Homo-oligomer: A and B are copies of this chain.
Amino acid sequence: MSPEKAYDELLHRMKEIGVLGNTAGVLGWDQEVYMPAANAAYRAEQLSLLAGMCHQKFTDPKVGELMAKAESSKDLSADPLSDAAVNLREWRRSYDRSTKLPQKLVEEMTRVTSQAQVEWVEARKENKFSRFQPWLDKIIPLCREQAKCYGYKDHPYDALLEDYEPGLATAELNRLFPPLKESLSALVAKITSSKRQPDVSILKRACPIPVQQAFCRRMAEAIGFDFAKGRIDISAHPFTTGLGPADTRITTRFEEKNFENSFFSTLHESGHGIYDQNLPSDGHYGTPRASAVSLGIHESQSRLWENLVGRSLAFWKFFFPELKKAFPGVFDDLTLETFHFAINHSAPSLIRTESDEVTYNLHVCLRYDIEMALIGDKLKTSDIPAAWNDAMKKYLGITPPSDAMGCLQDVHWSHGSFGYFPTYTLGNLYSAQFFAAADKEVGGLEAKFEKGEFAPLKKWLNEKIHAQGQRYRAGDLCVKATGQPLSTEFFLGYLKGKFGKLYGF
């Protein structure tokens, strides 16, 4: 078999695995959105069967042989940015990772984390860290074992990061995070001590849910989510899922007295959705060439539309009149500035998912420090609550009244997902840097938003980010798109500018 034939055969197999993976995607979407809850056990069986099939097809030794054969060709990889070279690079990466873990370790991890999730739910309910701690004592050594199997140079955490942010090393996070923390803490202090504060009570005004739904759809459409190739539905936890080349689905949730939640989660998920809808399609669908780069880059797209665009004054200059009209009598008494200040309220708070643009990343940095210490064997699990509360006090000036509101709040550790949290902050940093570059190149983005013109920004993202698929790793993509490596300067500059104006410092 020629290397070219081997490559074609691989392409066929990988696309087929993609078709199966998207089948699981439909089942997963349906489970969250429409499936009767009583059917959960059977659905779990379906998903597990499909996951097993995908894993088996992907780790088939024949795949390894075909890959080796295809890699032996000088032509296929002559240009490292060619479609074939990109695909081979990413398939190799995933294949090696999938085959490096012994079956026994995979099974043990699955077994432990599936029980740990149940225990975490209970521990949080009971506000009893000691109930969850023994599970962390099982999970963390397993994560270290995984890291050992994957291999790493500096720190075992590097090997775990790779699952979420390929190519990213702790060295990079250690470069970015400490100065970020410092600046953000200073910013929080300024905001907290400011005499000028927004009237957040207006965020609780009653807005009929059907009108919220229509307004969310209107905003999603305006920024460029394509409803001919996608949907928006309701689920308990908002998410985005790509189910096919012309099928990207986002979800949101609605509370009558919390329009902020549905508006910004819709813009957030629309950002993810727009990325998914504009990845290369046609023959590339189902290959790395047509896949998202990393969690961090994905998050940059959601945060860009949610925050840089959706919480900007320019955006609401355009939408506020529509808002007033859509919800008669609800916002009539407000000025644009009052409204804009309210949706940009910032204050230290306990729960990461409810925090704001400024404080959010401090929640993340805190978790990163603890994760590094745990994986590096520098912190005992019994010391997590104290470490957590100390950091909260230090960064945000508040102390959780309970572990349920503190170190038990997130599901990630019960999944064994150490290395996931940093991608949230990377997303925020990338979003500001991309926005700045787009604004510089396209020119006058905000003036365009005021007129409801979001297509120029979307077009820039389409070309610079979306159409690239996995051609570049995140760090290289950033250099390509913005002319320089990822820096905190854009994000911090953006925050200081906006919040300085709002809070008057």
Contact = CB atoms under 8 A, between A and B. Distances in A.
Interface of A: 16, 19-20, 22-23, 26-27, 30, 34-39, 42-43, 45-46, 49-50, 227-231, 233, 243-247, 285
Nearest to A20: B49
Contacts of A46: 19, 22-23, 244
Contacts of A37: 228
Interchain residue pairs A-B with the least CB separation, the first 10: A38-B246, A39-B247, A42-B244, A39-B246, A39-B244, A38-B229, A19-B46, A19-B49, A36-B229, A36-B247
A229 to B, nearest CB: 5
A36 B245 contact: no
Contacts of A245: 39, 42
Contacts of A50: 23
Contact of A246 (B20, B42, B244): B42
A38 B281 CA distance: 13
A26 B30 contact: yes
A43 B231 contact: no
A287 to B, nearest CB: 14
23 contacts: A19-B42, A19-B45, A19-B49, A23-B23, A23-B27, A23-B50, A26-B26, A26-B27, A34-B34, A34-B231, A35-B247, A36-B229, A36-B231, A36-B246, A36-B247, A38-B228, A39-B243, A39-B244, A39-B246, A42-B244, A42-B246, A43-B244, A46-B244
A180 B38 CA distance: 44
Contacts of A233: 34
Contacts of A36: 227-231, 246-247
A22 to B, nearest CB: 7
Contacts of A244: 39, 42-43, 46
Given A36-B227, A42-B246, 19 more contacts: A19-B42, A22-B42, A22-B46, A26-B27, A34-B34, A35-B247, A36-B228, A36-B229, A36-B231, A36-B246, A36-B247, A37-B228, A38-B229, A38-B246, A39-B243, A39-B244, A39-B245, A42-B244, A42-B285
B39 A229 contact: yes
A244 B42 CA distance: 6
